[in-house]
Structure 1
């Protein structure tokens, strides 16, 4: 399968690229600064900016699925990278005929109903602290849900740089501890699964954590 990864230089994006290649997929890595991505077998590197809709369509052309790992570097000053970038990615998918889109999001977009009482409180506190970032992501999620694509939204717990185990909890309404850090590589594995083989997840919101 040929997968476009948008935001391939970020914490999750790099691991998604590595995991997809490890599983034998062909990868198109899309980034604003493609020169920082080292070459590899079955890897195509393209420049792309999510604020540039025509350029994004060109960057993801001729792929079978798109995984968006874009996000703001600051939860306190998120800007509009999600609320403006995701609609441009959706439009690019429509222009190029790509049906499968996976969007990385965060568990703090959940209302917490699937979590324990303690974890529901933790998510509630995160929503209050990071309300600007949540508003930006909420607009992006709404745009994805309203689209006609075969989308999957993956809401991840807190992420960390650590060796992955590929042992994690995932699925629609999956229960886990949102403040228990999940290695980036485990989140990446879930995103690749969503793009390539989990047909039951299509047009659903999936949680991933520990």
Structure 2
């Protein structure tokens, strides 16, 4: 399969590239400074602060799917980069006729309303007592702007007409790949407090070839 991997040198992105190459996929890796990537990977330099539409079109051209680990380096400083970058990716895919995209988001996004859109439920249906009354409140206090931007990102996908799937993990860790995790359709995983970046990448690569998850949000956690 031909995969274009966005933010290929980021926390999730580098695992996406390594695992996709190991599985025999043909990979185009897109990053601001694509370096230290496996041999045989086609690389494209794109700065998602100011995404170049010509470069993005070239990056997604001919892809079977786009897999995006795009997110801010500092969630409290780089506001808006995920939604702006995702809009640019969606535009490039539409121009090149590429339909399938899998994007990483975050578990606390569920309750965040998008300006001008319907108000989402107060609590994600998968959240237990702790997450509803403590965990989500702490997350919003620390990274509220980032989660609001992810909510906008998800709305961009819903409006795109593409065959999108969103992976929503909770707290990310740097633990090793296990390939073992729980998932939940259109809700967070009950009692799921963390997951490794390597396992998020594994989950996202599985989603690419799961048509039942098209235009769905999938919670994932250990």
Instruction: Report the TM-score, using the length of structure 2 for normalisation.
Output: 0.87
Q: CA RMSD in A?
A: 1.5
What residue is the counterpart of 2:200 in the other structure? 187
**2:168 and 2:188 in contact (8 A); partners too:** no
Q: CA deviation at 1:152?
A: 0.3
Any unmatched runs of 5+ in structure 2?
Answer: 112-123
**Structure 2 residue matching 1:66: 3-state secondary structure:** strand
**Structure 1 residue matching 2:71: 3-state secondary structure:** coil
Distance, in Å, in 2 between the alignment partners of 1:23 and 1:149 is 25
Among 130, 144, 157, the residue aligned to 2:143: 130
**Structure 2 residue matching 1:162: 3-state secondary structure:** coil
**CA displacement 1:24-74 (0-9 Å, x = unmatched):** 21111111112x133424x21222233222221112212110011111111
Distance, in Å, in 1 between the alignment partners of 2:19 and 2:128 is 31
**Structure 2 residue matching 1:4: 3-state secondary structure:** strand
Within-5 A mapping of 1:52-91: 52-91=52-91
Any unmatched runs of 5+ in structure 1?
Answer: none
Within-5 A mapping of 1:2-151: 2-34=2-34, 36-41=35-40, 43-50=41-48, 51-111=51-111, 112-121=124-133, 122-151=135-164
The total of aligned residue pairs comes to 206
What residue is the counterpart of 1:158 in the other structure? 171
Q: CA deviation at 1:174?
A: 4.7
**Structure 1 residue matching 2:24: 3-state secondary structure:** coil
